[in-house]
Amino acid sequence: MQDDLNHLANHDPLTGVYNRRAFSVAAELAINHADEEAQPLSMLLLDIDHFKSINDNYGHDVGDQAIRALAATVRAVAPKNAVIGRLGGEEFAVLLPDTTLVQGECIAEGVRASIEKIRLQVPNGDRGSRRASG
């Protein structure tokens, strides 16, 4: 039960990634470690473009679908040691320990390309599926 409570306290309920508070703690630890060990550290900041229009045009269920899809895609593409957090709304951060700027740029491009492929199921089949933007 303690593990369940700990998970609830530290993870975003919609996506399962770290919430803002837990991500901030993890980031501080990682920054301190990188500084002490003289190791590289990179971070990605992600934001869903035009997110308000997704909610306004298709409803919050589709907005939630976009947020979950982005988190799942980042989890699938980011290195296993990445620390992923939802900072709020449609904003995410990905901490990349032991990652140089050049490596971080490559990872960022892979994440971007994968996000570009996300397709959302929208209500009222007349609109069809739409591409997520990020």
Side chain identity at residue 79, one-letter code: P
Q: Which DSSP letter does residue 80 get?
A: T
Q: State how far the alpha carbon of 12 is from the alpha carbons of 40, 53, 101, 108, 130, in Å.
A: 27, 23, 28, 22, 25
Nearest alpha carbon to residue 66 among 55, 75, 77, 76:
55
Is 90 part of the annotated catalytic residue set? yes
The catalytic residue among 90, 91, 105, 109 is 90
**Catalytic residue annotation:** 90
